Chain A
Amino acid sequence: MNRETQQVILQLAQNARPVRPLRRPYVRAAVWVVISMIFVAGMVLIIPADHDLLRQFAERSFVIEQFAALATGIAAGLAAFVTVIPGGDRRWALLPLLPISLWLGSLAPSCFREFTRMGTQVFLVPHSLWCLPSIVLLGTVPALAMVVMLRRGAPLTPHLTAALGGLAAAGIGNIGVRFIHPEDVSVMLMVWHVGGVMLLCAFAGSAGRHFLNWRSIIGASENIAR
C-alpha cells in the first residue's frame, strides 16, 4: 500500500464521525413534499386570492391541471433524490415525463380551441406579469429545502439533479400561484405557467454544478470532521 494513501486512510478513519444512512429516496421525497406544501399552503392563505376559489375547484380542468402539476413536482423530486444515490437507477430521471405529459395534455385541447378561434390574437390577451415572479417566490422554500437535502447526497449528475430539483420546486410553487392568480386562457397558462416552470428547471439545471460539486461536498465533510 502506498504510504501517502495509507496516511489518507488513517486520517479519514480517525476523523470519521458516525453518520446516519440517508433514508430511501421516496421517504426523502415525501418529507420534502410535506415541507413544501406547508409553505405553499401558508403563502396561499396569507396572499389574498383575487378570484373565486370555490368556483375554480368546481372546474374539472383546473383540478386535473393542479393534480398534474403536483404529480410533476413529486415525480421530479423523487427522481432528483434517486440521482444523488451512487448506483441508483438513472431511468428514474424519466419519471416526471409521465405527469408532464398529463399536465400538457390537460391544457392542449383548450389551447387548440382558443388558437383556432382567436388565431395569434390569443397572445395579446392581457396577462398578469407577476405569475413568473410568483412561481419563483412560492418555489423559494421548496427550492432551498431541495438544495439542502440534495447536498447530503453524491453530486453524480449535478446538472440533471439540479434540473429535476428545479422542476420539482417550480412545479409545487406553480400550484400555489394558480390558487392566487386568475387565469382563464389556456394558451397563457401554457406559455407563462408551464413555460415558466420549464424555464426555471433549465436555469436550475445550468447552475447545478455551482452547488452540487465534489469539491464543496468533500470540503464540507472535512469541515465537519475538523
Chain B
Amino acid sequence: MDITQPVLPDHRFSELMQSAQAGDTDAYIQLLEKVTPRIRQIVRRHRTFLHPEDIEDLVQDILLSLHAVRATYDPGRPFMPWLLAIARNRLVDGARRYARGAAHEVCVENLAVTFADERANTVMNGLGDLPALEQAIGALPPIQRDAIRMLKLGEMSLKEAADAANTTVGALKVATHRAMASLRKMLVKKQ
C-alpha cells in the first residue's frame, strides 16, 4: 500500500484539521485516530528492526509533535505532505537520539542490586502489596505512568528521564507529583 495514499481523501483531513485548529475536540480525536495507523505504517516501514513498543513510542512522539505545531498547518494546502514532513523529521531525530544514546551506553552484566551486608537488606521486608502497586501504576495516564517508571522504578535522573520522554524537567516533575498523589489515593482505597 502506498503510504502517501490516505484512507480518507486529503480534503477531508484538511477539514478535520481546520476544525481541530478552531477547537473542535471531536474533529481532532477523529483526525488523530485516522492518521495514527498511517503514522504507524510509516514508522514500521522505516524502522523494521524496532520492537512494537518502540514503534508505538515513536508513533506517540509524532502525535505529540503534530499537536505542538498544529498551528503551522495552512488549511489552504494539502494535509498529507504536512504530516509526512513531521513524521519523517521525527524519525530522523529519533535515529539521531538513539545513536547518541547508544554511543554513551555501557553494558554491565549482573549489576549488584544491593549491598551484600545483611543489615542492608532488611528494608526488603516492608514493600507491601506489589501486584496492587503494579495495577495502580498501570491505571495512571501514560505521561504519569512513564514518569513513575523512569524516575521511581528506573531510578533515572530528571534530566535523563526528560530526554527519554522528550519533555521538560518541569513537566516531568508535575507528572510525577500528580502520579504519586493518584497512587497514594488508589492504594489507600484498596486497603
If A4-B56, A13-B25 touch, whether A20 touches B82 (CB-CB below 8 Å) is no
- Specify which chain A residues have a CB less than 8 angstroms from the CB of B143 in the assembled complex: 11
Interface residues on A, range: 35 or more
- Specify which chain A residues have a CB less than 8 angstroms from the CB of B83 in the assembled complex: 86
- Specify which chain B residues have a CB less than 8 angstroms from the CB of A86 in the assembled complex: 69, 72-73, 81-83, 85-86, 89
- Specify which chain A residues have a CB less than 8 angstroms from the CB of B60 in the assembled complex: 4-5, 8
- Specify which chain B residues have a CB less than 8 angstroms from the CB of A222 in the assembled complex: 167-168, 171
Counting CB contacts under 8 A, is B158 at the interface? no
Chain B contributes a number of interface residues (CB within 8 A of A) equal to 48
A-B contact count (CB 8 A): 131
A13 with B32: CB separation less than 8 A: yes
B63 with A9: CB separation less than 8 A: yes
Closest Cβ–Cβ distance, residue A24 to chain B (whole Å): 7
Counting CB contacts under 8 A, is A130 at the interface? no
B28 with A153: CB separation less than 8 A: no
Instruction: Name the residue on A nearest B169 (C-beta).
Output: A219
Partner of A226, one of B67, B78, B174: B174
Partner of B84, one of A6, A19, A20, A87: A87
Q: Which of A108-116, A172-180, A197-205, A210-218 contacts B (4 or more CB under 8 A)?
A: A210-218
Instruction: Name the residue on A nearest B79 (C-beta).
Output: A87
Partner of B74, one of A6, A24, A84, A156: A24
Q: B residues near A, CB below 8 A?
A: 20-23, 25, 28-29, 32-33, 36-37, 56, 59-60, 63-65, 67-75, 77-78, 81-86, 89-90, 93, 141-143, 162-163, 166-168, 170-171, 174
